[in-house]
Amino acid sequence: MANPIEAQAPPRSQLKRSITVKQLYFYVVGDVLGSGIYVLVGLVAAAVGGAFWMAFLVGVSIATITGLAYAELVTKYPQAAGASLYINKAFRSPVLTFFITICMLSANMAAVGSLAAGFVRYLSDLIGLPESAIWATTGIAVAFVAVITAINLIGISESVVANVIMTFVEISGLIIVVAIGVIALVEGVGDPAVLLQFQVEGGPGSAVLAVLAGVSLAFFAMTGFENAANVAEETIDPSRAFPRALIGGMMTAGVVYVLVSMAAALAVPIDALAGNTLLEVVRADLFFIPAAVMLVIFGLIAMVAISNTALVTVVAQSRILFGMARENVVPAIFAKVHPARRSPYVALIFGGAVVASLLIIGAAIRSSQAGIPRTSGSTSSTASRPSRSCSSSSSTRS
C-alpha cells in the first residue's frame, strides 16, 4: 500500500524565503482574477444567458479540487518548479519531465508576450498612439517586459509587495462593477429575474448543457492558481501557509467572479454583454462618475491587472527553469542565484530575452507583411486585449 503524503521539512535553499501567508493569499487572488475577468464574463454570458453566474460557481468548485491537489503536492515537495517538479518526482522520467517543462515554459513565455501586447493596446488607446506604429508599440512592449523582469531581479520580496499593491487596484475596479450592479437593482434598471434566465431553446436539459458550456470558460478563468506553487520554496512555512493561502485565494476570487457576473447581468442587457468585455457595464453610465471618465479609469486598471499577471508569470517561468536545472533537466546555469538579491537571475534574464526576441520577430514579420520599411518607424499593433492567458495561467489569465 502506498504511503500517504507526509509533509517534508523545507529544503535549504539559495532563494530567499520571505513570502508570508497573507502575501501568498494576495498572490493567488491577483493571479486568478488577472485581466481575463474583463473578457471572460462576456464570453460566458454568451454561452449561458443571464444565469451565467452559475457557470462561475461550478467552475470555481471544480478548480478548487485541482487546487487541493496542488496544496497536497506543495506540502510534500515545497520546492520551486511546480508541475514540472511533480511530474519528475512521480515518474522519474527525464524525457517526460523535459517535455512538460518545455510545454510549461512555452505557455508562460507566450502568455507574457500576449500580456505585453495587451498592455500596449490599452496604452495606445489612452495616449492616441496610431495602430500603424509597429516599431513604436513593439518598443513599448519590450520595455514592459524589461521592467517586469527588472522588478523580479531586484528580489522576490519587492515583487510580492508590487503584486499586493496591484491586486488591490484590480479589486477596486471590480468593486465598482459590483456597485454599479447594486445601483441598477436599486434604481429598477436591473431585473433580478434575469439572474435565472438561460439564453437557450428547449427544456431544463438545455439549460444544464448551457451551464456546462459556460463552465469550461469559467474554469479557464480560474486558472493561474498553479503559478503560486512555483514560489513554494520562497514561502515561510509552506506546508502550513500554502493550503490556506491557495484555497482561501481561490474561494475569494470565485466569490468576486460570481458577484461581478450578477452585477453585469443586472446592469447591462445580456444581448449587449454577450461576447463583449466588462466595460459594457461602465458604458451603462449608472455610476456617479461620467462613463467617459470611467472608461479611462478602467483602462488604467486593466493595465495594472495585465502588469500583475505578467509579474506572476515571469516569476513562474524563472522558477521552473531554476527548479529543473537543479533536477538536471535543463542546463545547470539556470540554477544560478544572485548572491545579494537571491533571485535566479540567469533564468529571469533568459526568459525576458526570449519574450523580447519573439516580440521583435513578430513585429518584423508584421512590418514586412504590411510592406512598411523598418526604418519608417510606423507599425501596426495587432494585439488585442487579452483574456486569461494559457499559463495560467496561466492567465491570462492575460
Give mean pLDDT, residues 222-233. Answer: 89
| Residue 12 pLDDT | 63
Q: What is the pLDDT of residues 74-85, one digit of tens each?
A: 999 999 999 999
Q: State pLDDT tens for residues 247-270.
A: 999 999 999 999 999 999 999 999
pLDDT at 269: 93
If 0-12 CB within 10 Å is exposed, 13-18 middle and 19+ buried, where does residue 244 land?
middle
| More reliable by pLDDT, 223 or 363 | 363
**Residue 212 confidence (pLDDT):** 83
Q: What digits encode the pLDDT tens for the residues 298-313?
A: 999 999 999 999 999 9
Q: Say how far apart CA 294 and CA 288 lie, in whole Å.
A: 10
pLDDT at residue 164 greater than cutoff 80: yes
Give the model's pLDDT for residue 203. Answer: 60
Q: How confident is the model at residue 392 (pLDDT cuts 50, 70, 90)?
A: very low
The pTM assigned to this predicted structure is 0.85
Instruction: Give the pLDDT score at 14.
Output: 85
Contact 313, 82 (CB under 8 A): no
Is pLDDT of 3 > 60? no
Tens digit of pLDDT for each residue in 25-62? 999 999 999 877 877 888 899 989 999 999 999 998 99
Amino acid identity of residue 50, one-letter, is G
For residue 51, the Cα-to-chain-centroid distance in whole angstroms is 24
Is 203 exposed, middle or buried, given 0-12, 13-18 or 19+ CB atoms closer than 10 A?
exposed
Residues 6+ apart with CB under 8 A from 292: none
Q: Mean pLDDT in the chain?
A: 87
Domain covering 21-376 in this structure, CATH number:
1.20.1740.10
